[in-house]
Amino acid sequence: MKKLTNIPFTAIESVPQLIKDFLNSEIPGFEQTVFNLQNVEKQFVLKEENFSSDHRKMLSRVLQKQHSDLSLSDKQKENLEFLAKENAFTVTTGHQLNLFTGPVFFVYKILQTIKLAEFLNQNFPDRKVVPVFWMATEDHDFEEINHFQTENGYYETKAKSGGVVGKIRLEDDFFISEFEKEFKDSVFGTELILMMKRAYKKGRTLTESTKLLVHQLFSEYGLILIDGDDALLKEEMRDIFRNELLQQELQNATKDTVDFLTEKYGKVQVNPREINLFYLTETRNRIEFKKDHFQVVDTELSFSKDEILSELENFPERFSPNALMRPVFQETVLPNLAYIGGNAEIMYWLELRDYFKKINLPFPVLIPRNAMLFVSEKTLTKTKNLGLEIEDWFRNFASVSKSILLNDNEMAGLLDQEEKSLIDQFDHISAKAELTDKTFGNLVNAEKTRQLKSFARMRKRLLRAEKIKQQEKLERLEHLFLKVHPGKIWQERVFNFSVFYSEFGKEWLRNCFDAMDAENSQLIIFSL
CA-to-CA distance for 445 and 429, rounded, in angstroms? Answer: 9
In contact, 321 and 328? CB cutoff 8 Å? yes
Q: What is the DSSP letter of 146?
A: S
Half-sphere exposure of 109 (CA within 13 A, CB side): 29
Q: What is the DSSP letter of 34?
A: B
| Element housing 402 (H / E) | helix 397-405
75 Cβ contact partners less than 8 Å away, ≥ 6 residues apart: 219, 220, 221, 222
3-state secondary structure of 170: coil
CA-to-CA distance for 528 and 374, rounded, in angstroms? Answer: 6
CA-to-CA distance for 293 and 378, rounded, in angstroms? Answer: 64
3-state secondary structure of 225: strand
Nearest CA-CA partner of 358 in 279, 253, 245, 229: 253
3-state secondary structure of 195: helix
Amino acid identity of residue 328, one-letter, is: V
User: How many Cβ atoms sit within 10 Å of the Cβ of residue 72?
Assistant: 16
User: How many Cβ atoms sit within 10 Å of the Cβ of residue 295?
Assistant: 18
Return the axis-axis angle of helices 53-66 and 74-82, rounded to nearest 10°: 160
Q: What is the DSSP letter of 324?
A: T
CA-to-CA distance for 342 and 521, rounded, in angstroms? Answer: 10
pLDDT in tens, the chain (528 residues): 899 999 999 999 999 999 999 999 999 999 999 999 999 999 999 999 999 999 999 999 999 999 999 999 999 999 999 999 999 999 999 999 999 999 999 999 999 999 999 999 999 999 999 999 999 999 888 999 999 999 999 999 998 887 899 999 999 999 999 999 999 999 999 999 999 999 999 999 999 999 999 999 999 999 999 999 999 999 999 999 999 999 999 999 999 999 999 999 999 999 999 999 999 999 999 999 998 999 999 999 999 999 999 999 999 999 999 999 999 999 999 999 999 999 999 999 999 999 999 999 999 999 999 999 999 999 999 988 888 888 988 988 777 777 776 676 666 566 567 768 767 777 777 777 766 676 777 777 787 788 777 767 866 775 676 676 667 777 888 888 889 999 899 999 999 999 999 999 999 999 999 999 999 999 999 999
Phi and psi dihedrals of 69, rounded to 5? -95, 10
Domain boundaries, the chain: 2-144+213-233+330-369+496-527, 237-318, 378-488
In contact, 13 and 523? CB cutoff 8 Å? no
Strand-pair category, 147-149 with 154-156? antiparallel
Phi and psi dihedrals of 288, rounded to 5? -125, 150
> pTM here?
0.89
In contact, 97 and 133? CB cutoff 8 Å? no
CA-to-CA distance for 391 and 5, rounded, in angstroms? Answer: 9
Nearest CA-CA partner of 376 in 240, 212, 227, 499: 499
3-state secondary structure of 312: helix
Query: Beta strands of 115-198 (E only): which ranges?
Result: 128-135, 147-149, 154-156
First and final CA of the chain: distance in angstroms?
5
Of how many residues is the chain composed?
528
In contact, 238 and 312? CB cutoff 8 Å? yes
User: How many angstroms separate the most distant Cα atoms in the chain?
Assistant: 89
